[in-house]
Amino acid sequence: MVERTLGEVSPECRRRLIIHYGAKASEWLDAVPALLDQAAERWKLALGAYHDAGHASVIAMADTPGGRPLLLKAWADPARFRNEVNALRLWAAGPTVGVVEAADDLAVAALEMIGGRPGGGERPARELQTVAAALHGLHISGRRRRRPCGLPTLDSHLNQEVRPRVRRRLETTDPGPWQDLVDMVLPELMTLGEDDSRTTVLHADLYRENVLFDRLGHPRLIDPLPMVGDAAFDWAFWTVYYDLGRGTDARLATAARISRIPVPVLAPWCRTLALDGLLYYLETADPRSPRMADVLARLSAPNPGNRS
Element of type H or E holding 79: helix 78-90
pLDDT of residue 5: 66
Q: Tell me, what's the pLDDT at 1?
A: 43
CA 255 to CA 238: how far, in whole Å?
A: 8
Q: What is the pLDDT of residues 284-302, one digit of tens each?
A: 999 999 999 999 999 998 8
Binning pLDDT at 50, 70 and 90, where does residue 55 land? confident
Estimate to the nearest angstrom the gap between the alpha carbon of 210 and the chain centroid: 6
Q: Which of 62-66, 129-133, 304-308 has the lowest mean pLDDT?
A: 304-308
Q: Residue 4 pLDDT > 60, yes or no?
A: no
Q: What average pLDDT does range 96-106 have in this prediction?
A: 97
**How many alpha carbons fall within 13 Å on the CB side of residue 86?**
20
| 224 has pLDDT over 70 | yes
What secondary structure letter does DSSP report for 153?
B
Let me know: does 234 contact 206? Beta carbons within 8 Å.
yes
pTM of the model: 0.94
Checking if the pLDDT of 269 tops 60, the result is: yes
Q: What is the pLDDT of residue 272?
A: 97
- Asked if residue 308 has pLDDT above 50, the reply is no
Intra-chain end-to-end CA distance of the chain, in Å: 59
pLDDT at 52: 87
| pLDDT tens-digit map of 177-200 | 999 999 999 999 999 999 999 999
Question: 3 pLDDT exceeds 70?
Answer: no
- Find, among 277, 276, 268, the residue nearest to 299 by Cα: 268
Tell me the residue type at 59.
Answer: I
Q: Which residues does 149 contact at the CB level (< 8 Å), separation at least 6?
A: none
pLDDT over 60 at 161, yes or no: yes
* Mean of the per-residue pLDDT values of the chain: 94
